Chain A
Amino acid sequence: MRLAVGTDEVYVYTGARALAPSRASIVFVHGAANDHSVWSLQSRYFAHHGRNVLAVDLPGHGRSTGAPLESVEAIAQWLVRVLDAAGVEHASLVGHSLGSLAVLEAAARAPARVDRIALLGPAVPMAVSEALMDAARGDDHVAYELIVGWSHSAAGQLGGNPVPGMWMTGTALRLMERTRPGGLAVDLGACASYANGLDAARALRCPALVVTGSRDLMAPAKSAEALIGALNGPRVVTLACGHAMMAEQPDEVLDALRAFL
């Protein structure tokens, strides 16, 4: 599905289902240099189990036009505009990595529009290494390779993908290679510059789920501890995987979301 948001066209994956006003809605928000397809199993499940699903491509990502947004706050505002454009009054928001920060901020800014939030692989603050940032600024392929290396557990780097025949790290790398020039640096800059995470968490009134990966080197589980402390009684699930949790443990991620949403 394509929506008009301002002058940009926004691609939204719906699981080949038309949105129905009678159904509860879930918005999925991907991380840096990714697109909606990182949620393919989980989003498809909910789309075929009675929910409206809106797995978005952020501006300048995937099939969405426009330039990447330079701050988490801007992405949060944009998410609310997507809800408006889709005619969705309120929804649960699910975000991964950069997307988790955007979801958190959106819920704090527009509490009436957000039912629940699920934060996957969050970190507050979300520090970005200088080596990675430098490589991203130069559109150096090494930046993608570093992210793939840090985002998959040691076991995940050798495969064993639950999805038959798919090579996880190759898939992750190829998806990021589609990023438009400069896009990764903008995304990482948004992560690194976001300073409102703990205040947003304290202001939050809706239920929250936090999913961390015990083998996550990109956003280590301990980097989410302050966030978890600031939230009001969040449900916390820790999976034995890296940052690329939807790929490494798709069923476990789905089950965590099913139990919460």
Chain B
Amino acid sequence: MTKPRTHRFDTLSLHAGSRPDPATGARATPIYQSASFVFPDSDHAAALFNMERAGHVYSRISNPTCAVLEERIAALEGGVGAIATASGQAALHLAIATLLGAGAHIVASRALYGGSHNLLDYTLPRFGITTTFVDPRDVDAWRGAIRPETRLLFGETLGNPGLDVLDIPRIATLAHEHGLPLLVDSTFTTPWLLRPFEHGADLVFHSATKFLSGHGVVIGGVLVDSGAFDWDAPKSRGRFPTLTEPYHGFHDMVFSEESTTAAFLLRARREGIRDFGACMAPATAWQILQGIETLPVRMQRHVDNTRRIVAFLSGQPLVGAIGYPELAQHPDHALAQRLLPRGCGAVFSFDLRATREQGRRFIESLRLFSHLANVGDAKSLVIHPASTTHFRMSADDLARAGIGEGTIRLSIGLEDPDDLIEDLSRALYAAGK
């Protein structure tokens, strides 16, 4: 059988979207640190503005370095394209603002990053967009929360911080039965561990600050479109006027007619990035590209180290439940084996059987683990979610999200795992005194 000519993941991590610089021959992607780009002539300028020619006008709308990143992540996710944004939060906002207006409704997993929860629960209602939060494992709850005005289903591949595994195939099927798209935050998994489009998701975003860049040096996000959702399909017809009706802000363009597969990205770039302006800086894109070049080898090491740490913690008397789906007792263990055969990432939480004071001693006794609000760094990190990332949530909401007073979240880095185990062992001893 003749085989298709395609490149594999590790090759795309290094090459997708980039070519040697035509002006200089530079092999590495240059940082095009320019706000704007010269037009050859007036007709060319007008054609660029009116989407009649391809190219760059102004770096808020697009930039050559950012475009390489956008192509690369689209290639790795198996999508049609992407938009780089100022942060993961900007990517989430761009997705929502592109599809929804006042009066629209979202159904979301309640196991979300605290920042995403803030946006959905506190901020968007001020703009007329409301959200119903549901147990991500309860498909009936998802179904029951869908209303006539619902326009989007949203969850995280691995819920924060309990690592609830989103059953993407089932939730996507449910969404599509109702003519709705499924948006997935894939930050914790990266496309190396999970490619949500292959399981039915329609839109994916990342905080590229995390594993994609991998070194904790930049803030950035990417929003990727599978290109598979049919915004004009009978079940969806009339629900997404931003994509299917003339847009007076761009010469009455009907985005779904302009592009069969990339209507969402067209609108997101021609309106959302243009008007809200949460674009990525080219130097940031360059840093993230450097990170993605080593994503496969880093993720393997992250996962290997995490397995060692989880095994160590499992035998510690001061450690209660460990929320890592590779453990047989995790409620999503079977689902994780199906969706995440390469591993369940390098961020997980565990409960310390200790007082709040003992928890403080544990964190402050760690020497290699850095106490900070981030994950997905090459260096190992630790945080106490209840007092930091999720501190705005009520006690009930915290409990529903699986966060207790003693919950500790670790992000396992690339250090020698024996050194990490020694660090944790010392901190547990200090906490237990």
Q: A44 to B259, Cβ gap below 8 A?
A: no
Q: What are 5 pairs between A and B in contact, CB < 8 Å? A: A158-B15, A161-B67, A164-B70, A170-B80, A170-B81
Q: How far is the CA of A40 from the CA of B80 in the complex (A)?
A: 15
B4-33: contact bitstring with A at CB < 8 Å (1 yes, 0 no)? Answer: 111100001001111100000000000000
Minimum distance in angstroms from B84 CB to a CB of chain A: 8
Whether, in the assembled complex, A28 has its beta carbon less than 8 Å from a beta carbon of chain B, the answer is no
Q: How many A-B residue pairs have CB under 8 A?
A: 151
Q: A166 to B80, Cβ gap below 8 A?
A: yes
Q: With A165-B70, A165-B82, A165-B269 as given contacts, are A16 and B253 in contact (CB-CB < 8 Å)? A: yes
Q: Hey, which chain B residues are within 8 Å of A250, CB to CB?
A: 53-54
**Count of B residues near A, CB < 8 Å?**
57
Minimum distance in angstroms from B106 CB to a CB of chain A: 25
Candidate in B70, B230, B261 with the most chain A CB atoms within 10 angstroms: B261
- Per the 8 Å Cβ criterion, residues 63-79 of B in contact with A are 63-64, 66-68, 70-72, 74-75, 78-79
Decide if the interface of chain B is mainly helix, strand, loop or mixed: loop
Whether, in the assembled complex, A174 has its beta carbon less than 8 Å from a beta carbon of chain B, the answer is yes
Q: With A157-B5, A170-B78 as given contacts, are A37 and B261 in contact (CB-CB < 8 Å)? A: yes
Residue positions of A touching B, CB distance < 8 A: 13, 16, 35, 37, 40-41, 44-45, 48-49, 62-63, 129, 131-132, 142, 145-146, 148-150, 155, 157-167, 169-171, 174-175, 177-178, 250-251, 254
Contact stretch, chosen from B44-52, B122-130, B154-162, B296-304: B44-52
Whether, in the assembled complex, B1 has its beta carbon less than 8 Å from a beta carbon of chain A, the answer is yes
Residue positions of B touching A, CB distance < 8 A: 1-2, 4-7, 12, 15-19, 47, 50-56, 61-64, 66-68, 70-72, 74-75, 78-84, 226-228, 230, 232, 246, 251-254, 257-262, 265, 269
Q: Hey, which chain A residues are within 8 Å of B227, CB to CB?
A: 170-171, 174-175
Interface residue from A37, A49, A63, A142 paired with B4 (Cβ < 8 Å): A142
Decide if the interface of chain A is mainly helix, strand, loop or mixed: helix
Q: Hey, which chain A residues are within 8 Å of B17, CB to CB?
A: 158-161, 167
Q: With A16-B246, A170-B79, A251-B54 as given contacts, are A159 and B261 in contact (CB-CB < 8 Å)? A: no
Candidate in B4, B51, B66, B75 with the most chain A CB atoms within 10 angstroms: B4
Minimum distance in angstroms from B121 CB to a CB of chain A: 30
Q: A16 to B251, Cβ gap below 8 A?
A: yes
